[in-house]
Amino acid sequence: MKITDVQAIRIEEEVSKIFSTSDWNDDTDTPNDDEYIELFDNASDIEEALDNLQEYIEECNGFDKEVIYYSNAMEILSEHDASLYDSMQLASEFDYDTSNLNSEILATLLISDKAVNEWHDTLRNDVEIELCCILD
Sorted by where each begins, the domain ranges of the chain are 5-135
pLDDT digits (tens, 9 = 90+) for 56-97: 888 888 888 899 999 999 999 999 999 999 999 999 999 999
Look up the pTM and report it: 0.81
Residue 111's pLDDT is 95
Collapsing DSSP to helix, strand or coil, 14 comes out as helix
Distance CA 108, CA 4 (A): 38
Which among 18, 3, 7 has a CA at the least distance from the CA of 127? Answer: 18
Cβ atoms of 115 and 109 within 8 Å: the answer is no
Angle, helices 124-135/46-59, rounded to nearest 10 degrees? 130
Q: Looking at per-residue confidence, does 23 or 56 come out higher?
A: 56
Cβ atoms of 115 and 65 within 8 Å: the answer is yes
Per-residue pLDDT, averaged over 89-115, amounts to 95
Going by pLDDT thresholds of 50, 70 and 90, the confidence category of residue 27 is confident
